[in-house]
Amino acid sequence: MKKTKILLIGACGQIGSELTGALRTKYGRDQVVAADIRERTKVSGEMHPYVKLDVLNKSALLMLCGEEGFTQIYLLAAMLSANGEKEPAVAWQLNMDGLLNVLDVAVKCGMQKVFWPSSIAVFGPNAPKLLSPQANASTPSTVYGISKAAGEYWCQYYFDKFGLDVRSLRYPGLISYKSPPGGGTTDYAVDIFIKHLAKGITFVF
C-alpha cells in the first residue's frame, strides 16, 4: 500500500487550521499538504507545505493530485449556514461542485480515502430533539443543510458506484479558540472566546 499523503482543502479555516497540525503530527509534515483559496503570501509559515487552490477549479485539482500522488483528501472548503443564507446560489455552487470535483478526482486518481464533514444542519426544525435517529427523514431548512444532505447521498453514490471510501460525520457546532468564526450558527459562541482572549482574559475549565 502507498504511503499516506494527504491534501487538506480549506486548511485555513476553523477546523483546518487545527486539523492540519494534528495530521502532520501523525503522518509527518511533508505528507500533509495544506490547500486553500487564500494567497500563499497571506498564509502563516506553519501552514507550509501550502498550495493555493480553488476547489472549484477541477483541472487544477486533478493536475495537483496527479503530480503529488495524494492518497487521501480532506475537503473542508464550504460556505457555512449563516453566510449561505446571504448568498444561497454561491453556497450551493461551492458546497456541491466542490464536493463533486473532489469525489471525481479521487476516483480518477485512485485515492484510498476521502473525508468530508457533514452537519447536524441536515436535520430541520421538525427532527426529534432527543436521540434523533441517523436515518431520520431529513428536512433541512437552510441551503447549507440541503447541500449537506445532498452531499451525503453523493458520497454514498460514489461508494456504491465506484467503491470510493468516503468518511463523514455530522458535526454539531464546533467551538475553536484559535480561529475566528466562519459564518455558521455557532459564531456567537466562538466570538465569546475570541473577544475574551483579545482582552487577555483567560478561561479555566
Ligand X SMILES: NC(=O)c1ccc[n+]([C@@H]2O[C@H](COP(=O)([O-])OP(=O)(O)OC[C@H]3O[C@@H](n4cnc5c(N)ncnc54)[C@H](O)[C@@H]3O)[C@@H](O)[C@H]2O)c1
Active site residues: 144
Per DSSP, 94 falls in state: I
10 binds ligand X (CB under 6 A): yes
Judged by beta carbon, residue 14 or residue 72, the one nearer ligand X is 14
37 binds ligand X (CB under 6 A): yes
> How far is it, in rounded angstroms, from Cα 180 to Cα 187?
8
The stretch among 54-62, 84-92, 131-139, 157-165 that binds ligand X (CB under 6 A) is 54-62
> How far is it, in rounded angstroms, from Cα 28 to Cα 179?
23
**Pick from 24, 33, 117, 158: which binds ligand X (CB under 6 A)?**
117
Provide the mask over 158-197, with x wherever binding to ligand X is found by CB under 6 A and - wherever it is not: -------------x-xx-------xxx-x-----------
- Beta bridge partner(s), residue 32: 6
Judged by beta carbon, residue 71 or residue 119, the one nearer ligand X is 119
**Pick from 7, 23, 34, 80: which binds ligand X (CB under 6 A)?**
80
Closest by CA position to 74, among listed 120, 121, 123, 18: 18
CB of 79 to ligand X, least distance (A): 7
101 binds ligand X (CB under 6 A): no
- Which grid coordinates belong to 178? 484559535
CB of 1 to ligand X, least distance (A): 27
> How far is it, in rounded angstroms, from Cα 138 to Cα 203?
37
DSSP E strand boundaries for the chain: 6-9, 32-36, 50-52, 72-75, 113-115, 118-119, 166-167, 170-171
